[in-house]
Amino acid sequence: MCFSSQKLWLILSLMKQIFLLLLFLVFNVTFAQKDEASIQAGEALLEKGKYELAFNEFKNAVNANSKNPQAYYHRGRSLLYLGKFSEAKKDFDKAIELAPNTSAYYNLRGAALENLGDTLNAIKNYNKSINIDSTDARGYISLSRLLESQNKFKEALVVSNLGIRKSVNQLTLFVIKGSVLQNMHDTANAILAYKSALKKDSLYFGANYSLALICSDRNKIKEALRFINNAVKGEPDNGDGYIEKGRILEELNDTIAALNCYNKAIALDTLNTFAYFSRGIYFRAHGNSTAAIKDFSKMIAIDPSDADAYLSRGECYSDTSNCEAALKDFEAAKKLSPNDPEIYFQIGLCQDETRYYREAIETFNAAIKLDSTNSQYYYSRGNAKYNLELLEEAKKDYLLALEKDSTNSGPLFNIGNIHFDKKEYEQAVKYYDKYLSIEKADADAMVNRAICKNALGFEKEACEEWQKAAALGNFDAKQNIEKFCK
């Protein structure tokens, strides 16, 4: 078969177009496969917490196909994890430009805006997410959580209830509803919300964990242990469950098991500062300040901006009478959290310990200015004044301390001492009586009360009291028996 030159040219031209079309399709399929492969690789890295590497994979996906909204969406996700909220928002903007009817894109743009402090537009984006897909729980979760953080509890409750009715994944919404109800002081209905989640999944972590906290607060420790055990079963890799279980076991005096829980939490995540904090508190409570200092130091190494870590380590240094190191930590804590009265209180204690009494008084004044309800602050300021022999001023502070907390025994003893020093024995006995009704085995108070009784002519009662104090090992009591009770 012969073709004219014109027909041959047409055939060759057609073949060339088919070839270019095939080349275009192969090229685009290859790049489509490349961007999808990068997205899958990035998602796997996100799951492992390798956010920088995940970002690089998603960046490759964007480079491979700049028209794929999922590539921008996932790169934005990685940027959220990296705390780069402005850049994340730009990626979500692009994803929405390419696919404007995708609920998830608005939800995460809302998260970026929320972290940037633009709560008004964050709320708009969460609402848009819900409007696009009313069955997607993520929009309800984000919106109700944000409203709760703004103390808009009624609005948060409305959103969580709406999400429970309409969305597919209700478990997290039941937990948010429970949290909101607790903030509204409706613990009974909060418990019902948490239990509604457990009806769907008996090992759901959030519900079990919240119920454990409620039971613990109500001193229903065994019930708390049952719920936290279920939480740990539900999420065996969640260190927070082991931390709370450790705290509950401490309340049950199972200290070895409690320590094992804290160790487990740290083994699961060596960067979990709360785990180190909890174990540090445990060590300090059991007299091991050296081990506690190591844990608080680890916290500081992980997060140098954690004021509680400096405060807690400083308290451990105070326990070991190392006020110089303690003061350095307290000052570091004060820079990070200048409105925390406890920091000023601890500084004042160190100043009092090192006999800088006037400086201590000024520091206790600062603590009281920040929190005028704490009995210990007045009591400690009274002690500094007592050490300066400002007895009447000290007594005023002790009375204020008792006004704030009538169970605080320290002020009672020291008011008794003030009257004792002034030889006002009847008044002294009155306060020693109140003190010993709380601290029944304080031999020093017994000795002082006995001296007062002896001076008031009640020699027999005085000798009986010295006998009790002597039985507790008090040396002064033995000397007074030899002197007055022959």
Work out the number of other CB atoms within 10 angstroms of the CB of residue 485.
Answer: 17
Do 261 and 286 lie in one domain? The reply is no
Q: Is the pLDDT of residue 13 over 70?
A: no
Whether residue 180 lies inside any domain: the answer is: no
In angstroms, the CA 469 to CA 477 distance is 6
75-128 pLDDT per residue, tens: 999 999 999 999 999 999 999 999 999 999 999 999 999 999 999 999 999 999
In the predicted model, what is the mean pLDDT of residues 442-467?
93
Do 281 and 248 lie in one domain? The reply is no
Whether residue 434 lies inside any domain: the answer is: yes
Burial of 97 (0-12, 13-18, 19+ CB in 10 A): exposed
Percent of the chain, pLDDT > 70? 93
Do 419 and 475 lie in one domain? The reply is yes
Q: Please give the radius of gyration of the chain, using alpha carbons only, rounded to the nearest integer.
A: 34
Give me the residue label for tokens 């399929």.
29
346-388 pLDDT per residue, tens: 999 999 999 999 999 999 999 999 999 999 999 999 999 999 9
Whether residue 240 lies inside any domain: the answer is: yes
pLDDT at 108: 94
Do 275 and 261 lie in one domain? The reply is no
Do 217 and 279 lie in one domain? The reply is no
In the predicted model, what is the mean pLDDT of residues 412-422?
95
Torsion of CA 26, 30, 31, 32, to 10 degrees: 100
Q: DSSP alpha helices (H): ranges in 48-136?
A: 51-64, 69-81, 85-98, 103-115, 119-132
Do 264 and 308 lie in one domain? The reply is no
State the Cα angle at 165 between 168 and 181, rounded to 5°. Answer: 110
Do 480 and 419 lie in one domain? The reply is yes
Whether residue 43 lies inside any domain: the answer is: no
State the Cα angle at 100 between 96 and 104, rounded to 5°. Answer: 65
Do 474 and 419 lie in one domain? The reply is yes
Contact yes or no for 343/374 (Cβ under 8 A): no
In the predicted model, what is the mean pLDDT of residues 170-187?
94
pLDDT at 15: 52
State the Cα angle at 17 between 11 and 23, rounded to 5°. Answer: 135
Whether residue 123 lies inside any domain: the answer is: no
Domain boundary among 224, 240, 269: 269
Whether residue 297 lies inside any domain: the answer is: yes
Contact yes or no for 446/427 (Cβ under 8 A): no
Do 421 and 485 lie in one domain? The reply is yes
447 residue type, one letter = V
Q: 3-class SS at 101?
A: coil
Do 468 and 418 lie in one domain? The reply is yes
258-273 pLDDT per residue, tens: 999 999 999 999 999 9
Least confident of 40-49, 188-197, 212-221: 40-49
Strand extents, DSSP E, 102-255:
none
Do 287 and 331 lie in one domain? The reply is yes
Q: Is the pLDDT of residue 443 over 90?
A: yes
Domain boundary among 297, 315, 338: 338
**Count of the separate structural domains present in the chain:** 3
- Of 45, 94, 97, 99, the closest CA to residue 72 belongs to 94
Percent of the chain, pLDDT > 90? 84
Whether residue 426 lies inside any domain: the answer is: yes
In the predicted model, what is the mean pLDDT of residues 149-168?
93
Q: Domain of 314?
A: 271-338
Do 223 and 296 lie in one domain? The reply is no
Domain boundary among 338, 362, 396: 338
The CATH number for 440's domain is 1.25.40.10
Whether residue 187 lies inside any domain: the answer is: no
